[in-house]
Amino acid sequence: MCVVELEEGVRMMSRVEGIAPGDIVIDMAVTAFVGEAEGQPAVLFKPVEV
């Protein structure tokens, strides 16, 4: 679980996918996508490709 702050200033709890937990850093750029969490649609995040 993580807290993601959107450009609009809103914060939301979600998950960052596609990266090892130890590689996640504060202020990491991420992008949203619709995935599945506990069998339900959810807004998840993945690292931005540089």
15 and 36 in contact (C-beta within 8 Å)?
no
43 and 15 in contact (C-beta within 8 Å)?
no
pLDDT tens track for 1-50: 899 999 999 999 999 999 999 999 999 999 999 999 999 999 999 999 86
Give me the amino acid identity at 44: L
Task: State the DSSP H helix or E strand holding residue 45, giving kind and residue range, or none if neither.
Answer: strand 40-47
According to DSSP, residue 18 is labeled S
In terms of Cα–Cα distance, which of 49, 50, 42, 39 is closest to 1? 42
For the chain, domain boundaries: 2-47
pTM, entire model: 0.85
